[in-house]
Amino acid sequence: MPATPDAIETAPPPLTALSEDEKFFQFTVRKFAREQIRPYVREMDEAGVFRQEIIRQFFEMGLMGIEIPEEYGGQGGTFFQAILAVEELSAVDPSAGVIVDVQNTICNNALLRWASAGQKAKYLPRLAQNTVASYALSEAGSGSDAFAMATRAEDRGDHFLLNGRKLWITNAAEAGFFLLFANADPAAGYKGVTAFLVEREFPGFQVGKKEDKLGLRSSSTCELILDNCRVPRENVMGEVGKGYKIAIETLNEGRIAIGAQMIGLARAALEHAVAYARERKQFGKPIADFQGVQFELAKMAVDVEAARLLVYNAARLRDAGLPFLTEAAMAKYYSSEIAEKTASRAIEVHGGVGVTRDYPVEKLYRDAKIGRIYEGTSNMQLLTIAKKLIAR
Ligand SMILES: Cc1cc2nc3c(=O)[nH]c(=O)nc-3n(C[C@H](O)[C@H](O)[C@H](O)COP(=O)(O)OP(=O)(O)OC[C@H]3O[C@@H](n4cnc5c(N)ncnc54)[C@H](O)[C@@H]3O)c2cc1C
């Protein structure tokens, strides 16, 4: 039975239905990614370096300050728009996706929620216009158990002295600003963890070794060295000892964007597989004519669509101010699973050429692997989901 006009008017829109603004934004980012990033993807992957010029264009287009209000020089957009941007960029290059992801959904987001008025006035215009940001929580000895960090912050009155090392810090090679966590009261355990706003030029701060990675090769991942790094007291974000809350809640949002990165990647793998299947002939016809190949493509399409629904739902919940913790964990868990599977299937559809660097799918396969590791491993997502299930 068709729905009545009243029912249609009051029904919430379908998850994948975009507003006119969202459609325009998506189109603009897609066009930019295809025209301005795609020509350099292979070169950047091989060199392990992301082009500064593209980062400059990210700022110029407002892609580094999507949710930052216009009064601070940002776009005054939504979290959902940031998700669309990460998906579109990742469909061309997942390294491009993660740069914009960390800036918007983690760093800018944290400042918007927890920074003081003075901190916002000082840093948000820079983050929107010219300064790349990093989020520095992990260390060699503390990954999943993030609050077991060894980096210490010593209270010296008008400043803190930070000592320790951070590891795996995305964007660090390019960043001028670091949202960094250190423990100011180790005896209090996680209740000593404090969030600091650290500038690259602060004395005692240094960016260390850059990792040579399997995938996301052009996105920088570096060590940070804090050797009596002097951070003014006014650069503590939120309260001393309340950084654990900032770290957790920021990652809860950020992992929706990792889901977006993974659906962009999976979508690209599917598109490449479809295009190749139409072209490649065996037994006198395109391999797309064989039902065995068609079914592989169909299964990939189902996975991408299901993952997109999870990601969009979590993002829409977040923008609506509704609880989204479990949904975000599901979105990240599932999208990263299917990204790896879809990229792997896309290679198989390509046959032998799929594993060569002459075709884009081997890179997508390499890039997919990290999705199940960073911003909380798949096991950590399952823990979050299971906790909710069994809570009384
Ligand atoms: C490319 C890249 C970029 C990154 N970017 C950043 C960044 O910008 N900022 C930042 O702070 N960090 C970053 N990280 C760090 C990332 O978040 C950690 O690598 C991740 O949280 C996992 O920590 P770990 O590597 O120490 O693995 P571990 O925590 O040692 O985990 C190893 C294995 O043990 C499993 N495991 C651990 N504990 C449990 C448990 N309780 N139950 C079940 N299984 C468990 C894990 O699931 C995993 O399979 C990045 C990492 C990489 C590789």
Closest atom of ligand 1 to CA, residue 211 = 1
Terminal-to-terminal C-alpha distance of the chain: 40
User: Nearest residue CA, atom 24 of ligand 1?
Assistant: 143
User: Nearest residue CA, atom 4 of ligand 1?
Assistant: 168
pLDDT at residue number 392: 76
Tens digit of each residue's pLDDT (9 = 90 or more) over 103-118: 999 999 999 999 999 9
State the pLDDT confidence band at 391, using cuts at 50, 70 and 90: very high
pLDDT at residue number 1: 63
State the pLDDT confidence band at 7, using cuts at 50, 70 and 90: confident
Residue 11 has pLDDT above 70, yes or no: yes
Return the residue matching tokens 């889901």: 259
Mean pLDDT confidence for 119-127 = 98
pLDDT at residue number 6: 73
Tens digit of each residue's pLDDT (9 = 90 or more) over 136-174: 999 999 999 999 999 999 999 999 999 999 999 999 999
Ligand 1 center to 373 CA (angstroms) = 6
User: Nearest residue CA, atom 44 of ligand 1?
Assistant: 379
pLDDT at residue number 2: 66
Residue 3 has pLDDT above 80, yes or no: no
Return the residue matching tokens 């249609």: 8
* 79 CB burial (10 A radius; 0-12, 13-18, 19+): buried
- Our mutation pick for probing the ligand 1 site, out of 100, 178, 332, 374, counting the most ligand atoms within 8 A of Cβ, is 374
Q: Give residue ranges with CB within 6 A of ligand 1.
A: 102, 134-138, 143-144, 168-170, 213, 216, 221, 370, 373-377, 379
Ligand 1 center to 333 CA (angstroms) = 14
Ligand 1 center to 145 CA (angstroms) = 8
Tens digit of each residue's pLDDT (9 = 90 or more) over 192-246: 999 999 999 999 999 999 999 999 999 999 999 999 999 999 999 999 999 999 9
Tens digit of each residue's pLDDT (9 = 90 or more) over 281-302: 999 999 999 999 999 999 999 9
Torsion over CA: 123, 199, 175, 80 (sign) = negative
- The 10 Å Cβ neighbour count of residue 6 is 8
Ligand 1 center to 50 CA (angstroms) = 23
User: Nearest residue CA, atom 38 of ligand 1?
Assistant: 144
CA dist list (Å): 214 to 217, 259, 365? 7, 19, 10
What is the value of pTM for the model shown?
Answer: 0.97
Tens digit of each residue's pLDDT (9 = 90 or more) over 337-359: 999 999 999 999 999 999 999 99
Closest atom of ligand 1 to CA, residue 137 = 11
Tokens standing for residue 307: 């993952």
Closest atom of ligand 1 to CA, residue 383 = 42
Mean pLDDT score across all residues of the chain: 97
pLDDT at residue number 12: 84
Residue 4 has pLDDT above 80, yes or no: no
Residue 102 has pLDDT above 70, yes or no: yes
- Our mutation pick for probing the ligand 1 site, out of 50, 138, 258, counting the most ligand atoms within 8 A of Cβ, is 138
Ligand 1 center to 376 CA (angstroms) = 6
Tens digit of each residue's pLDDT (9 = 90 or more) over 33-73: 999 999 999 999 999 999 999 999 999 999 999 999 999 99
Tokens standing for residue 6: 């009243």
* Catalytically active residues, by annotation: 375
